[in-house]
Amino acid sequence: MRLLSHSFYVCCLALFLTGCATQKKTATTTGVGKYSEDLSVWRPKAEPVVADTNTPTDPAGRKQIAYVEPKYAVNKKLDSVLDSINHTNLQRNFIDGFTIQVYSGLKREDALNAKKEVTSYLPDLESDVQYAQPNFRVKVGKYFTRIDAQKDYVEVKKIFPTAIIIPDKVSIN
């Protein structure tokens, strides 16, 4: 009980002292409830640029600026990290992308018929049949983004109402 009363007194004392502190004057605007304050005191000051009269100019009349060595240049450690990332990216044969699935079922004949329909109605789209036990899937196109897939999806949806856009691995060969 004594600990509670002590913390209560400390809290009341802190509130009392903050209430008694002098407050800075603030300018208020004419609107009701609007608040503004001049914070220019806290803004960093820009150093004035001194014009050098000895700076040569090019024929167009512009000043030529002397080369300055960068402070935060890429160093050898960062170069080696970037090279290792580049090496691993070059070894990748595929990336995450999207494709349009027009058929998924248990019968191989139905999957082959769906592929024939796709090639007859949309000959410019590449289609393939994949078997992932126990289903056969017919997929159309390979796209890097979902928006790219959406363009062909509208056309495929007219022929195959059950078609969907699914995430897939896209080879980058």
What is the secondary structure of 118-148 as a DSSP string? Answer: HHHH-TTS-EEEEEETTEEEEEEEEESSHHH
Structure tokens belonging to residue 40: 């220019």
pTM of the model: 0.51
Structure tokens belonging to residue 61: 């009349």
Q: Using one digit for the tens of pLDDT, what is the confidence trace for 7-29?
A: 676 666 666 666 554 555 545 45
The residues of the chain scoring below 70 in pLDDT are 1-7, 9-32, 50-61, 173
94-171 fold:
Alpha-Beta Plaits (3.30.70)
The predicted pLDDT at position 106 comes to 94
Q: Three-state SS for 107? A: coil
Q: How many angstroms from the chain centroid is the CA of residue 171?
A: 23
The predicted pLDDT at position 28 comes to 47
Domains of the chain by residue range: 94-171
* Euclidean distance between CA atoms 15 and 130, whole angstroms: 72
The predicted pLDDT at position 124 comes to 92
